[in-house]
A and B are shown apart, each in its own frame.
Chain A
Amino acid sequence: MLAHYGYKDGSGDYFIIIDTDKCDGCGKCVEACAYGVMELIEDEFDIEDGSMAAVTEEHRKKIKYSCGPCKPISGERKLPCVLACSPKAISHSW
């Protein structure tokens, strides 16, 4: 499943997309993010048990700002959450 967390507002699209089929729930993205944007949640999409990464409720409506420091206007852009994830489950829409 592709879980899109974030929003679209007048200024643009800001989504962090998690491919839950690839995510193995290792939690490395949670450790890697210095701003507490990521968390591990229980899989509430089916009756199976398991955990998966998600964007915290607190940040869902402001990730454009929360993730701002990791997205400098110029210079190299390295997103710690994306780099930490070995199965490549995370992508950003902006």
Chain B
Amino acid sequence: MSKQSKEFWRWREYRHTVPEMDWHDAKIVTAGVDIGSVGSKSVIMLDGKLHAYAAIRTGGVSEETAIRVLNWALDETGLQTKNVHCIVGTGYGRVNVPFAKRTITEIACHARGAHYIYGPTVRTVLDIGGQDCKAIRCDEKGKVISFLMNDKCAAGTGRGLEVFADLIRVPIAELGKASLNVEKEPAPVSNTCVIFAKAESVALLRQGWEKEKVAAAYHLAMVNRIIDLLTKVGVEKDFVVTGGVANNIGIISRLEKNLGIKPLEPNVDPILAGAMGAALFAKALYEKQIGLR
């Protein structure tokens, strides 16, 4: 497996300020900092409204990454760290966020952020990253009711797809589309384990199956597995999918078909969901602190 192909879910670094908002008019300025294993994100909110954000790659030292991403988000807003009333850290490196008043798990922040991005009708959030899969169910306030995270097994994660992309030599970005290029949906690959499913796929290719057909069988198996996990926390409308694998149309369209629910479309990059949730928790925390709630 080549080193590069493992990193398809890396995105470019970017920042943005929402125009025509002035922090001087805001009563409460908060920030959320999400230190993930691959990327780190920061969001600035004015009275609970998205004002600026930045996303960068996580460096070797979490503290430095946290400071860098926060400063970059603050850049061009005229704000300085001292103007921010409250900061909450999240993500796997959350304990290393300097200035953070508190840490909140990425599960809770993800749900809260999805609630903000997609609206209060969101009940089920599925996040499939390179190395894990999270299923979260939340209520109308964005509070977690049930969650599950699977990061033990590569099956059902971006990594599982990569192993397969490598096998049939199709670029990972085109894999989902290729898997839809079949007349009829084949039976799913019967093995869940990536190692065994790969061997099974090799056998199918030897039998003369087209790449696309094997890809369809592989995607279908992955979708069945994801649905199984979702069912454990309960699937309810509205449903959203985030994480790198959300870009794989072969997965998304099959999820939609087999669940009978169409995932909502986001209006901002859902990669920011965790940091947004953290900024919203920061607002609630500050309000509590000054006796507003």
Contact = CB atoms under 8 A, between A and B. Distances in A.
In the complex, is A directly touching B at CB under 8 Å?
yes
B150 interface: yes
B232 A9 contact: no
Nearest to B106: A44
Interface string A1-13: 1111011111001
Contact of A45 (B108, B155, B225, B284): B108
Contacts of B145: 1-2
A61 B151 contact: yes
Interface in B91-108: 102-105, 107-108
A15 B284 contact: no
Interface residues of A, number: 19
B150 A45 contact: no
A44 B232 contact: no
A70 B78 CA distance: 59
Given A9-B153, A44-B103, A47-B102, A3 B147 contact: yes
B196 A44 contact: no
B83 interface: no
A9 B152 contact: yes
B232 A15 contact: yes
B57 interface: no
Contacts of A61: 151-152
Given A10-B155, A44-B104, A61-B151, A2 B233 contact: yes
Contacts of B67: none
B152 A44 contact: no
Given A2-B233, A47-B284, A8 B108 contact: no
Given A45-B105, A46-B143, A15 B148 contact: yes
Interface in B127-148: 143-148
A7 B233 contact: no
A44 B92 CA distance: 12
A8 B143 contact: no
Nearest to A9: B153
Nearest to B94: A44
Nearest to B138: A1
B192 interface: yes
Interface in A29-88: 44-47, 60-62
A1 B232 contact: no
Contacts of A3: 146-147
A47 B288 CA distance: 9
A46 B232 contact: no
Interface in B143-187: 143-153, 155-156
Given A1-B147, A4-B146, A15-B232, A44 B108 contact: yes
Interface string B214-251: 00000000000100110011000000000000000000
29 contacts: A1-B143, A2-B145, A2-B147, A4-B147, A4-B148, A4-B232, A6-B152, A7-B153, A8-B150, A8-B225, A8-B229, A9-B152, A9-B153, A9-B192, A9-B193, A10-B153, A10-B196, A15-B232, A44-B104, A44-B105, A44-B108, A45-B107, A45-B144, A46-B143, A46-B281, A47-B104, A60-B152, A61-B152, A62-B152
**Which 8 pairs, one residue from A and one from B, show the smallest C-beta to C-beta distance?**
A10-B193, A7-B152, A4-B148, A9-B153, A61-B152, A2-B146, A10-B192, A45-B108
